[in-house]
Amino acid sequence: MTRDEKIGTRGFAKNQTGPLSLCLRKSRLSKFSMTKTIFLLFGLAFATGPVASAAIIGTNSPALPLTLDRIATLPAAEQPAWKEYLKHSVQQMSADKKFFFAEMKKHRIQESSPAPKGGSENQIPMRHPAAWYGQPEALRIADVILSFQTPAGGWTKGVNMTANRRAPGQQFFGDNSIVNLSKSDNDLPNDAAWHYVGTFDNGATTTQLRFLAKVVNASEGDRATPYRTGFFRGLDYMFASQFPNGGWPQVWPLQGGYSDAITYNDNAMLNVMQLLRDVAKGTGEFAFVPKAKRERAADAIRRGIECILKTQIVVNGRRTVWCQQHDALTLQPTPARNYEMPSQCGSESSKIAEFLMQEPNPGRRIIATVHAAAIWLEKTQLHDVAEKRDGAEGKRLVAAPGAGPIWARYYQIGSDRPIFGDRDRTIHDDMNEISKERRNGYGWFNISPQQALNLYALWAKKHPPGSAEE
């Protein structure tokens, strides 16, 4: 291991101290003095011996699913809505399975076949001129998409929905298995034969609905009817899956585990809200949506924003940002996969802030929320470090004077220091000390908060702290 590799991330966040006590913010030091400080400290560290190895700082626990027992802990007035929601979810999954097995029986199919593997979000063409969506190729793809719509009205992820129509007895979901699964892995499905059957993960469902809307607009007369019907079924699916508190799960009907949480990860909930925001406007590609559904979409957005405001993490009385997922009932940050900890998340939080900044008439709470998030994003940017590949070892975080800003994917709540999870559920404060498999198989740093801060610089001039357009 080289000197640079030993640095990890300890000490690179603003107001963050570590073994080398590196506070390398450009606002504090000139480029020359920062570079000089780096090498002086490196020299000091290696003159006195190697940097002490970081200890495991915690263990990640599995997320709790939504259950009747947990609902029973809520205030009495809140329980009926949640009980009805869970009941509807259970009934819908039962209906979905009943449809599938009846189909197999009707066609005398003994064993179901898997759906074709692929990336539904990337393969569905979304950038053609408007007229293209009325042409035969677009209609063929739209028919394939409709064939994979679940009885509940949603779609799965990871399935090629541009090739061939779903055949009778073919599964609605693809092979979403993980190579490194163990018996203690949070990704282990509750039911391997019924997994992600209806989800918002990876752009699923929202992408299909946007494609169908394009086809409806480009089609004339009765030819648009099946695509319009499919769109409305998908819209109703989004309404049905919204939690009583305004959030959305990753998968619906619920399948247990971390998928039952309010899911900001990979912008799942934001993708839903952005689509509903467009529907509520009733313009452009969504002008065909009737008034009643547009009004329902507007109400769903209002409730979704309320959920966003309530899930913003508060530390020592100050609002900060959000976790990738929050428990549906407690609204607290909650784990997801083994290496995804309750934490403050730079990337998802920046997208949430961008979404809120798009509100045309933000109230005082939205304005305060955005300002708080921007302050945190500004505070936690990292300078003078970069991810680099080191031969067979793959990615390492190394000192890189002048580099940045970048943001860690996860920050420890309370200390704002970057943290990193491993496949065995251990939590570390140094990316270089997690397993090679997780170090190279996950995105631990990103630059997306910079876009949010750029937008914020303009937005804040129109919406200073304490202002509102009530």
Question: Which residues are identified as catalytic?
Answer: 202, 337
* CA separation for the pair 200, 180 (Å, rounded): 24
Number of Cβ within a 10 Å radius of residue 277: 20
Select from 183, 320, 205, 335 the least CA-distant residue to 259. Answer: 335
Let me know how long the chain is.
470
Longest CA span, the chain: 80
Q: By C-alpha distance, which of 204, 100, 88 is closest to 145?
A: 204
* Cα–Cα distance for residue pair 321/15, rounded to 1 Å: 18
One-character DSSP codes across 26-54: TTTS-HHHHHHHHHHHHHHHHHS-SPPPP
Residue 42 CB coordination number (10 Å): 18
Contact assessment for residue 22 and residue 41, using Cβ atoms and an 8 Å cutoff: yes
The angle that helices 136-147 and 206-218 make with each other, rounded to 10 degrees, is 140
CB 168 within 8 A of CB 155: no
The total of other beta-carbon atoms located within 10 Å of residue 81's CB is 14
Residue 246 near residue 162 (C-beta atoms within 8 A): no
- For 238-392, strand residue ranges (E) read 262-263, 314-315, 318-319, 325-326, 385-389
Closest to 272 (Cα-Cα) out of 240, 228, 319: 240
The backbone torsions φ and ψ at residue 315, rounded to the nearest 5 degrees and listed phi first, read: -125, 120
